[in-house]
Chains A and B, each alone.
Chain A
């Protein structure tokens, strides 16, 4: 059974990824900012195959202590890491404030960089040919008013992932970004119906990206079905072209 570390599993896409992985017989170490009814239901259905770690990723050193020192330790081999946790600080650039910008970079960028360090070390210790998947956003590739700061955090992940692939490829550790389109999750809840319609009209399919499509692509990238896929950005975005 493969052990996968997934962040941001309380709700939305992270919850869906966790559900998909559990259904396909993975063991999930899921990092959540807190418990939700849906997450508790998953726990009751899957028992020991879901290990919930309650941690605030904005507290980088504290969360690494909780995840790696207290929970995973040296004896659990990690086969995959899904960097899903993120916050969105949306505003036009002329209104930019440093504090929320810094917090977003802690959660969306600095924390996943540090988690990747520990994930790679774990994979080296256990001789695992592992897979890392970062959840990116189509906003990196297509401009959206108000998303400059958020898009920049995901762009940082895409650059980080590509070099992770290059640096660790000879150890057969893979790294890819899943570039997700706009989904109907809590992260887009602040958008008005009109704003959402405008976003969806820019897609080929004229509709939101399905969480299920994203979660299944994550599972593909984690699995041995994708052994030759690394350093890539895989778009699951209703065809935003």
Chain B
């Protein structure tokens, strides 16, 4: 007895373990499908701003045509120098980006995003990179993303033994002198970091006067919004925009959400998952109600209210949600791990997503319960005679 009531929903479910297991599988499959859709969608969004988050800056100067790191446009370098003259700015430097093919250790060609800046400018949030940036002062030296897609074990093992690895990029010899870990995205297989001098040598068509991004760091105590406004007032909005780092990240993420079909495609998959789950649970609960019509009529004849009968069905639907959800969550976590290992991309499970899917699972099962109660509502106690 729980609060003076027999847990009839639970008792009925547990009495038919086969059907119970099938219902749990249905809920778990729906939960897994929803988690996968959300995981893939956010993985795409996250990978598009992965490099954004690697950049250490309070304000970012970008071209008005900037979309993401694969489509940045360029800004005049003098805008970076101008920003340096604004009160509150402690440091500013240009960042160059380029996508380049290179020959991987297995002889295959791969596309990587090359980031380049002055070696003595701490442009990155990752202290592992900052600690190795001085190695980039030697022309032709690069740092390799250990999370890049492909088999780089030989290179990484060599680096661990203190051996540099030489290869070719754009017809020029380069040397991998260090490593960091970021991961690949849908646009590129990984990231390389070089000095601005090395990039000029590797990308012959790039002018030093036209970097892709300006990184601006503020002096301690400087007001972010006031400094942003001061820089914006001084620059020509036709060639440069000033964004806070958060706006910089949101700009690309927002562009992807609203201008790509990704959210629609995965959103559709998510709805399909919930509908299929609701159908499975409805089907099973309806069959259970049908099987217990005689008992429900007896209960009603004995004095059970209609609400008490419906509560049995809802109890079952919510139990299926509560027990099916963790199974689906565990499946999704396992699949996330497999995907991380297979494609070297950051698929994560934030608590907010767990909470949202938990809520959606209960809503799905409550809807299924409501549909299943249609028959239970029609139980006539006089049918017992």
A and B part of one assembly: no
B-contacting residues of A (Cβ < 8 Å)? none
